[in-house]
Amino acid sequence: MLDIRQIREHPELVQTKLDLRGTGVYDIQPILALDKQQRELESTRSQLQARSNEIGKLVGQKMAAKVAPTDPEILALKAEGNTVKAQLGELEPAERELKAQILNLILQLPNLPSDTTPVGKTEDENIELRKWGDEYIPTNPEILPHWEIGEKLGILNFESSAKLAQSRVVTLIGAGAALERALISFMLDQQIAAGYTEVSPPILVNTASMTATGQLPKFAEDGFKCAEDDLWLIPTAEVPVTNLYREQILTSEQLPIHHCAYTPCFRREAGSAGRDTRGLIRLHQFNKIELVKFVHPDTSEQEHQTLVKNAEAILQAFKLPYRVLELCTGDIGFSAAKCYDLEVWLPSAGKYREISSCSNFGDFQARRGDIRFKETGKKGTQFIHTLNGSGLAIGRTMAAILENYQQPDGTIQVPDVLQSYLGRAIL
């Protein structure tokens, strides 16, 4: 959430940065207008409250001086006091309503892009920073798409899954289920070894949690909500893990906090109609390892770079070719100030596809969720910085393995580091 003081004091800067995400999409003028009204009401209310206090003091002084309660001056003061109280009674709810309107509008605004985020309008203007593993790109021209080889091997079942639920869900069978479990265990082990503390959070969260991380109110149509309860199926473990510290004041000595979590994730993918309708790339239910950091603002950028390296390490361990993109202002996520995407090579598509998005949110989520810290010896508190990234998306990793490790005879060679987890070398 953006700071109302920043919007009020630096409106041109805020609007300019918002326009980098898409000119004309976001307008702060309604917020400024409501904020002006609210502050005028606040000033009037403060003056009336001061007069009410003054009247009470004057009446008290006269009563202490034994002035009769029926004295015309006392009666006039009391009458004025009643009028002032009535006016306050009207102003206070009006001011609360204005504050609620301002908050609702601010919650619709995305984070401001970092000064180092490249300027661009679409994903075509993202910057490729580096590639890794070109030597591992398979040369076999007969590679089948992962959904075809998976169904042929009997380890992926899309048809029966659609009967159980709907399209864009999958059932993993036999070695497919075992491979997923091996991927989850390996990734968690690697991130724990890298210094992350594992968390197994709820996959149902309330509206306050979804709002704190930026999924609500803007992306309500992408979520799955339980109709009878104020509960949402999580779109990512980022939501429950970040909210573990909602409305808390940490100490600087507790920072940084690094968590990793495996969870199922649920997304309607409302804005992706017709895209990736087959396979494991864009499912309504999928599994993911998430990395979440709570850090001091001074170390935020460094922690972001390390987060990217932690995600890259998994791809390197699997010897999967990938590239790193720095996203431009028009392509970063709603809550992000800066973002790097990792894209893995999918031979059947002949291109790289996203497998991890590593974002630095600055204090955007912390402000929404009121997550602060206090430094020893200093007055007041500060909002922490939050960061997260996939380490990695399980289904997309499986898709990459099924294609990049596909053998001419139709079998799948298991990556070396997974063989001990899976107990086999060939699928």
8 part of the active site: no
Where, residue-wise, is CATH 3.30.930.10 in the chain? 123-422
CA distance 171 to 160: 8
pLDDT (0 to 100) of residue 59: 83
267 part of the active site: yes
CA distance 163 to 264: 20
Report cis status (omega within 30 of 0) of the bond before 217. yes
Please tell me which residue in 357, 367, 368, 403 is annotated as part of the active site.
357
Please tell me which residue in 282, 323, 353, 424 is annotated as part of the active site.
282
CA distance 107 to 223: 17
396 part of the active site: yes
Top-confidence residue, 401 or 163: 401
Where, residue-wise, is CATH 1.10.287.40 in the chain? 4-107
pLDDT (0 to 100) of residue 275: 64
Do residues 330 and 121 make contact, with C-beta atoms less than 8 angstroms apart? yes
Q: Is the pLDDT of residue 195 over 90?
A: yes
How confident is the model over 255-266, as pLDDT tens digits? 999 999 999 999
CA distance 78 to 69: 10
Of 318, 303, 284, the residue nearest 419 (C-alpha): 318
pLDDT (0 to 100) of residue 353: 96
Please tell me which residue in 367, 368, 372, 396 is annotated as part of the active site.
396
Per-residue buried b or exposed e for 331-348, using 16+ beta carbons within 10 Å of the residue's own CB = bbebbbbbbbbbbbbbbb
Average pLDDT, the chain: 94
Please tell me which residue in 21, 52, 209, 267 is annotated as part of the active site.
267
For residue 207, what are the CA distances in angstroms to 210, 255, 263, 375, 388?
Answer: 5, 27, 19, 31, 20
Top-confidence residue, 168 or 312: 312
How confident is the model over 102-112, as pLDDT tens digits? 999 999 999 99
Q: Other C-beta atoms within 10 Å of 290: how many?
A: 29
pLDDT band at 69 (very low <50, low <70, confident <90, very high): confident
Least confident of 168-172, 232-236, 257-261, 301-305: 168-172
pLDDT band at 274 (very low <50, low <70, confident <90, very high): low
* The length of the chain, given as a count of residues: 427
pLDDT (0 to 100) of residue 77: 83
pLDDT (0 to 100) of residue 303: 98
Q: Is the pLDDT of residue 232 over 90?
A: yes
Please tell me which residue in 151, 180, 354, 375 is annotated as part of the active site.
354
Mean pLDDT of 201-216: 97
Of 167, 367, 171, 377, the residue nearest 277 (C-alpha): 167
12 part of the active site: no
Please give the class, per CATH, of domain 123-422: alpha beta
| End-to-end CA gap in the chain | 47
CA distance 49 to 60: 17
Least confident of 59-63, 146-150, 226-230: 59-63
pLDDT (0 to 100) of residue 270: 59
200 part of the active site: no
Residue with tokens 């973002």: 339
With left for phi above 0 and alpha for psi between -120 and 50, is residue 195 left, alpha or beta? left
Q: Is the pLDDT of residue 271 over 80?
A: no
Top-confidence residue, 328 or 169: 328
CA distance 345 to 336: 25
pLDDT band at 273 (very low <50, low <70, confident <90, very high): low
Q: Is the pLDDT of residue 154 over 90?
A: yes
pLDDT (0 to 100) of residue 121: 94
Q: Is the pLDDT of residue 315 over 60?
A: yes
How confident is the model over 355-396, as pLDDT tens digits? 999 999 999 999 999 999 999 889 999 999 999 999 999 999
Backbone Cα Rg of the chain: 28
What is the SS3 string spanning the chain? CCCHHHHHHCHHHHHHHHHCCCCCCCCCHHHHHHHHHHHHHHHHHHHHHHHHHHHHHHHHHHHHCCCCCCCHHHHHHHHHHHHHHHHHHHHHHHHHHHHHHHHHHHHCCCCCCCCCCCCCCCHHHCEEEEEECHHHCCCCCCCCCHHHHHHHHCCEECHHHHHHCCCCCCEECCHHHHHHHHHHHHHHHHHHHCCCEEECCCCEECHHHHHHHCCCCCCHHHCEEECCCCEEECCCCHHHHHHCCCCCEEEHHHCCEEEEEEEEEECCCCCCCCCCCCCCCCCCEEEEEEEEEEECHHHHHHHHHHHHHHHHHHHHHHCCCEEEEECCCCCCCCCCCEEEEEEEEECCCCEEEEEEEEEECCCHHHHHHCCEEECCCCCCCEECEEEEEEEEEHHHHHHHHHHHCECCCCCEECCHHHHHHHCCCEC
User: For the structural domain made of 4-107, what CATH number should be given?
Assistant: 1.10.287.40
Pairing of β 224-226 and β 231-233: antiparallel
- Which backbone phi and psi does 130 adopt, to 5 degrees? -165, 160
Mean pLDDT of 299-328: 98
pLDDT (0 to 100) of residue 277: 72
How confident is the model over 81-131, as pLDDT tens digits? 889 888 888 888 899 999 999 999 999 999 999 999 999 999 999 999 999
